Structure 1
Amino acid sequence: MKSLKIIAILSFLFFLNRCEDNSNDKELIICTQNFVYGLAINLTEKTTANPINGNIIIVAKDGNYEETLENSDPNMSFYGAGERKGTYIVTVTADNYKTFVSEPIIVTADECHVTTEKRTFELELK
């Protein structure tokens, strides 16, 4: 009989503890293993709207951080700022085109990944 009372008391305490824990539970968030880029940049020629290819360098800066974006053929998109939120200024240099400097681009993130900011910039011939 004594052991039954002890079991009942321990069960009651366990139940109270579980109720208290549930009041502080947050929603379970499950993140994917995907690697997400913060920036996706495309380039077109201003007068023709045709995609630009050739010798192109795109640099994204956020304070002291600097990264040269990578090209992904065949769609000629450039990607960077992988899983890194921040405020980026993008500078584009390309043969036969004027250097282009963007307005600040803000890359945000949720609990798991950054949100990709996609931009298309029009370059002018020199």
Structure 2
Amino acid sequence: MKNLVLCLGMVFSFIASSCSLDNRSSNEEPQINSSWILKNTSGGITGINDNFNTRDVMWDFNESNHTLKVTKNVNTTGSGIPAGTYSYSIKKDGKTSTLEIKQLNVIYARLTYAFLNENGVVFKDDALADGFQYTFVENYCEDIICALEARPGLNVFVKLGNSSTSTTDGVTVVATSGNYKETLMPIPFPDNNPTFAGAHEKEATYILTVSKSGYKTYTSSPITVTGDCCHVMTETINVFLQPN
């Protein structure tokens, strides 16, 4: 009987402590132990303001062994520390939280951080007054299984005059975004409506130039291609070329 009472006491004690932990955790700041993707970098001596796509830069924190894995598909000044695996520790001084990133036990970077909300966090260079500010959002894509295909960011139908059907015959379609330039490929399409496709899995803002001998060259307004967790969201554009 004593053993039964003791066991019941331990059970109630465990339930009570669990409730206490749940109540406390609801008031604490979100945990940094997660996967985060870089969305924006601002600041620096030149005052940059760079936006990044979903798959460009990702920081994976592992609290169990205090490691930070940085994965990068871009290499610009604003993309932050180089790709690799680092050790890290968190220091707190009053309301200030500091992330110390180490490589071979030597501090590589020291960043103060603050949560915007449960899905966003901002890291700031601690050492320099004119350092960078990195804005991350939680990587909600990490558990999603994506189809193994490359989707076009741009799908362009070119029609001559007031024709109701499109053509690729003798037509050139070029997409530019900054220093990036791509000639879109003609693709057969059902119902005799061929199209031009390109910018596969490349989020950016593009300008289209469409040309054909005997017709006025068409230049588009900026077209922004965005993406979800897996693929770009294809932008479909209809272009009507007019004779010279």
Same fold (TM over 0.5): yes
**Runs of 4 or more off by more than 4 Å in structure 1?**
24-27
Alignment root-mean-square deviation, CA? 2.6
Instruction: Report the counterpart of residue 70 of structure 1 in structure 2.
Output: 185
Instruction: Report the counterpart of residue 230 of structure 2 in structure 1.
Output: 112
Q: 2:200 aligns with which of 69, 82, 93?
A: 82
Matched, 1:96 2:214: yes
Instruction: Report the counterpart of residue 125 of structure 1 in structure 2.
Output: 243
Give the TM-score normalised by the residue count of structure 2: 0.40
Instruction: Report the counterpart of residue 149 of structure 2 in structure 1.
Output: 34
What is the alpha-carbon distance in structure 2 between the residues aligned to residue 116 and residue 37 of structure 1? Answer: 6
Q: Report the secondary structure of 1:35's partner residue.
A: coil
Task: Name which structure has the greater RCO, CA cutoff 8 Å, separation 6+.
Answer: 1
Q: 2:162 aligns with which of 47, 56, 59?
A: 47
User: How far is 1:99 from its partner?
Assistant: 0.3
Query: Could you list the runs of 5+ residues in structure 1 that have no partner in the other structure?
Result: 1-15, 17-23
Higher helix proportion, which one?
1
Identical pairs, percent: 37
User: How far is 1:81 from its partner?
Assistant: 0.2
Going from structure 1 to structure 2, the CA distance change for 1:108 and 1:60 (only over 3 Å counts) comes to same
Contact 2:166 2:195 in 1 (8 A): no
Q: Tell me how many residue pairs correspond in the alignment.
A: 108
Higher strand proportion, which one?
2
